[in-house]
Amino acid sequence: MIKKIVYTLLFIWPSAILANEPKDWQLGFQKSASKSMDDIVWFHDYMLVPIITAITAFVLFLLLYVCVRYRASKNQVPSTTSHNTLIEVIWTLVPCLILIVMAVPSFKVLYSQDEIPKADVTIKAIGYQWYWGYEYPDENIIFDSYMIDEKDLKENQPRLLAVDNAVYVPVNKVVKVMITANDVLHAWALPSFGVKRDAIPGRINETWFKADRTGTFYGQCSELCGIKHAFMPITVNVVSEDEYNKWLEEAKVKFAKEEIKNKIKIVKKIREIR
Ligand SMILES: [Cu+2]
């Protein structure tokens, strides 16, 4: 029965199947596509459901209890007690224990993201006002990635998220991302991979992800970087190893041609100025 309802919902709401981008009226995270994001979702649920819910309910209960039990009409002579050693020890120790219960798994998640395993693919992402530039240092591939204007969008390309030149990475491989910026602070963020790092001029930040399923994933610049901050999205295509190798071959030719074209343009401009 439940299965039927889920399938019906998926059928009448097809965008629910393609869960690699934000949805209208979405609550919660985008569907995870990496171990890092699984950990983050687990930690979020672990904090929210048992710990925060219990604390909130307990404090609410105490407030209501005090309001009712000690209201002026029922409690005309207030207590003058100002110290109770046992209670003071309890309300110091219990929050400490709660903090430890939260901190230990939080550090575990944090450090698992911080330690970069041996990378299979290395990408450099450079933030510019207002687009991303990418380099595959081992493959000699360099290209820029601009958002596609609304009027030029093709079918299935989401508004404000699709780009002209997407990043390609192989599935189930460790991808190291080196992140920097050329002008102001930006941030390279991809929710489904659980990745977000500041892009700082003159400095390289590193992070990594290992996508565990193929598909197109969308992210955005996540550091307010100027007037077109909202218009420098990130598109990552996770593909099979074969498709990735094919893309590498094509990209080497395509972006080399573009580079030559750009150089010719610059030479022409210089000649015009002269
Ligand atoms: Cu930016």
Torsion angle, CA of 100/103/105/106, rounded to 10 degrees? 170
Token look-up 């920097």 returns: 180
Ligand 1 mean position to 119 CA, how many Å? 26
Q: What digits encode the pLDDT tens for the residues 23-52? A: 888 888 989 999 999 999 999 999 998 999
CA of 106 to the centre of ligand 1 (A): 28
Instruction: Report which of residues 7 and 170 the model is more confident about.
Output: 170
Tell me, what DSSP letter sits at residue 31? P
Going from the Cα of 130 to the center of ligand 1, the distance in angstroms, rounded, reads 6
Distance (Å) from CA 15 to ligand 1 centroid: 27
Structure tokens at 209: 């992800």
Q: What is the pLDDT of residues 103-114, one digit of tens each?
A: 999 999 999 988
| pLDDT in the model for residue 15 | 41
Q: 19 C-alpha to center of ligand 1: Å?
A: 24
CA of 194 to the centre of ligand 1 (A): 18
Query: What pLDDT, in 10s, does the model give residues 170-222?
Result: 999 999 999 999 999 999 999 999 999 999 999 999 999 999 999 999 999 99
What pLDDT is stored for residue 4 in this prediction?
Answer: 57
CA of 186 to the centre of ligand 1 (A): 4
Expressed in angstroms and rounded, the spacing between residue 217 Cα and the centre of ligand 1 is 18
In the reported structure, the alpha carbon of residue 231 is separated from the centroid of ligand 1 by a whole-number distance in angstroms of: 8
Mean pLDDT value across residues 251-264: 82
| pLDDT mean over 59-64 | 96
CA 189–ligand 1 middle distance (angstroms): 10
Q: Counting beta carbons within 10 angstroms of the beta carbon of residue 196, is it exposed (0 to 12), middle (13 to 18) or buried (19 or more)?
A: middle
Which pLDDT does position 16 carry in this prediction? 43
DSSP-derived letter for residue 75 is: -
Split at pLDDT 50, 70, 90, the class of 12 is: very low
- Judged against a pLDDT cut of 90, whether residue 101 lies above it is answered with yes
Give the environment of ion ligand 1: residues with CB less than 5 A.
186, 221, 225
Confidence of residue 5 (pLDDT cuts 50, 70, 90): low
Q: Is the pLDDT of residue 2 over 70?
A: no
Decide if pLDDT at 3 tops 70. Answer: no
227 C-alpha to ligand 1 centroid (Å): 9
pLDDT class of 78 with cuts at 50, 70, 90:
confident
Q: What's the CA gap between 257 and 271, in Å, rounded?
A: 21
> pLDDT-based confidence at 1, cuts 50/70/90?
low
Centre of ligand 1 from the C-alpha of residue 232, in Å? 6
